[in-house]
Amino acid sequence: MILAGDVGGTKTLLGVFERAEPRPRQAQLLRYTTTAFSSFGSLLDAFLRDAGPRLRVDAVALGVAGPVVGGVARLTNFTWGVEAAAIQARLGAPVALLNDLEAMAYSVSVLTPDEMLVLQAGTPQPDGHAALIAAGTGLGQAHLHRVGGRLLPAPSESGHADFAARTDREAELVRMLRQQYGRASIEHVLSGPGLVNLHRFTHGGAACPAVAGLDVPDHPAAVTAAALAHQCARCEDALAMFVEAYGAETGNMALRAMATAGVYVGGGIVRHILPAVQSGSFLREFLAKPPMDGLLARMPLRLILNAEAGLLGAALFAQRGLL
């Protein structure tokens, strides 16, 4: 049996998988609030209690929302880390730690058509590379390089690169972000907290009934709900800025990766704002890269609808014996 994990700054999924082709079969899935635990070890203890005493695993692969160096992963948006050696000592099985987007990227090859939504069919090149971007608590990206006929994911920390303003209004946004954070990163715009930054920008200090009385972690969902229900024009403006910037950065990533085999958009946010993403502005900004707009128009662009794609990718990594 395989223990796979998707460890994020807000929530953690841990699942037990049976080996099967073409993709591992999920036998058990448990969800946890990451911030409710003082360490990954305490979360793992809770999982082992919940999973039952008969659980036996022979391989462990975890996707973690942060950089992985020397068998240690540090969560970018929470305080604790994950150590492969400690987990191996606890479970007696080989352990692999992957960046969370790297893990999700492994799932791309086995996702079914009903687990994706096509924004642009394009013309996929069988010998081309691919790319993945996903906004959630943070913003992650991964390139999938074509090696030996297969797509091999490579992690990155591109979400922490500088945000490039495309308009005078976005330049004003960058000025606001620099005043608060010292610099403006892509993640300061394209993430749950990034949507809160956009909300603050579009409201300019004005009160907003949509978030009144809510804790800050609940603001992104409230802003999204108000925008999609047309209850607050400034919330709609914030979401529109988010979708346009998301499309633009996805196009940037596609060019950097030369993703002629396909571009994939995952993460929790895109699934919750599908009407806004399908409105046309995401694709318009994705393509708005002359003289490379023709190249981008030929790249397949798909949204990942499977909320457990990162978990599946980690399990597939373990099943293929890549530990």
Q: Are residues 148 and 229 in the same domain?
A: yes
Q: Are residues 24 and 141 in the same domain?
A: no
Residues 6 or more apart whose CB falls under 8 angstroms from that of 182 comprise none
Total count of domains within the chain: 2
Among 258, 248, 104, 239, which Cα is nearest to 163's?
A: 248
Q: Are residues 228 and 313 in the same domain?
A: no
Mean pLDDT, residues 139-144 = 96
pLDDT band at 79 (very low <50, low <70, confident <90, very high): confident
Q: Are residues 60 and 162 in the same domain?
A: no
Q: Is pLDDT of 32 > 90?
A: yes
> 149-191, pLDDT tens digit by residue?
899 999 999 999 999 999 999 999 999 999 999 999 999 999 9
Cβ atoms of residues 271 and 308 within 8 Å? no
Q: 254 or 53: whose pLDDT is higher? A: 254
Mean pLDDT, residues 306-322 = 93
Q: Are residues 96 and 140 in the same domain?
A: no
Q: Are residues 51 and 166 in the same domain?
A: no
Q: Are residues 23 and 121 in the same domain?
A: no
Q: Are residues 60 and 159 in the same domain?
A: no
Percent of the chain with pLDDT over 70: 99
Mean pLDDT, residues 21-35 = 93
Residues 6 or more apart whose CB falls under 8 angstroms from that of 233 comprise none
Mean pLDDT, residues 22-36 = 93
Among 194, 46, 34, 149, which Cα is nearest to 100's?
A: 34
Inter-CA distances, 158 with 80, 110, 126, 140, 280, Å = 21, 25, 26, 7, 25
> Considering the chain, what is the average pLDDT of its residues?
94
Q: Is pLDDT of 205 > 70?
A: yes
**CATH code for the domain in which residue 258 is found:** 3.40.367.20
Quote the CA–CA distance of 18 and 28 in Å, as a whole number: 10
Cβ atoms of residues 153 and 102 within 8 Å? yes
Domain that holds residue 36: 2-106+308-319
**What is the model's pLDDT at position 78?**
87
Mean pLDDT, residues 48-77 = 90
Q: Are residues 163 and 267 in the same domain?
A: yes
**What is the model's pLDDT at position 290?**
97
Q: Are residues 92 and 119 in the same domain?
A: no
> 87-101, pLDDT tens digit by residue?
999 999 999 999 999
Q: Are residues 100 and 134 in the same domain?
A: no
Q: Are residues 130 and 150 in the same domain?
A: yes
**What is the model's pLDDT at position 198?**
97
> 55-66, pLDDT tens digit by residue?
889 999 999 999
Q: Is pLDDT of 323 > 70?
A: no
Q: Is pLDDT of 322 > 80?
A: no
**CATH code for the domain in which residue 37 is found:** 3.30.420.40
